[in-house]
């Protein structure tokens, strides 16, 4: 099994108060998913190469932390959903991944 480098223990599902505060720390494009304790965002890039670059960079950090996004890619668009399966909902691991993804996308602008 892959060693969890930045996720050393089973993450804790965020309470309503924690979730509300945490969502304020990420880009407002992230939205709660209806019917799930998850967040979702659509990233759009100039072309497929940029979208793939974004996904490749995200995949590296996801693999290091054993925390993988749900995503779907078509040409320049990457639809991302984040939720922590180990705790059955949104955790700080998702918030941290969202922040990294936001930074990666911004670097490609």
* Tokens describing residue 47: 């072309």
pLDDT, greater one: 5 or 34? 34
Predicted TM-score (pTM) of this structure: 0.88
How many angstroms from the chain centroid is the CA of residue 84? Answer: 10
Q: Residue 46: which of 100, 109, 102 has the closest Cα?
A: 109
Q: Specify the DSSP element, H or E, that contains 63.
A: helix 48-65
State the number of CA atoms in the 13 A half-sphere of 74 facing the CB.
Answer: 2
Which domains are assigned to the chain? 16-108 (3.30.1360.20)
| Sheet hosting strand 77-82, strand order edge to edge | 31-32, 39-44, 77-82, 70-74
pLDDT in tens, 42-90: 999 999 999 999 999 999 999 988 888 999 999 999 999 999 999 999 9
| Distance between start and end Cα atoms, the chain | 36
Task: Compute the distance between CA of residue 109 and CA of residue 90 in angstroms, rounded to an integer.
Answer: 28
CB neighbours (10 Å) of residue 11?
20
Counting residues of the chain whose pLDDT is more than 90, the rounded percentage is 81
């Amino acid at each position: 099994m892959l060693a969890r480098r930045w996720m050393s223990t089973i993450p804790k599902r965020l309470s309503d108060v924690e979730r509300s505060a945490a969502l304020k720390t990420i880009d407002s494009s992230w939205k709660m998913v209806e019917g799930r304790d998850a967040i979702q965002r659509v990233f759009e890039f100039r072309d497929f190469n940029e979208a793939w670059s974004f996904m490749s960079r995200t995949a590296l950090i996801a693999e290091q932390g054993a925390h993988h996004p749900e995503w779907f890619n078509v040409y320049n668009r990457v639809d991302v959903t984040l939720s922590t399966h180990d705790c059955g909902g949104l955790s700080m691991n998702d918030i941290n991944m969202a922040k990294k993804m936001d930074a990666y996308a911004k670097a490609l602008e």
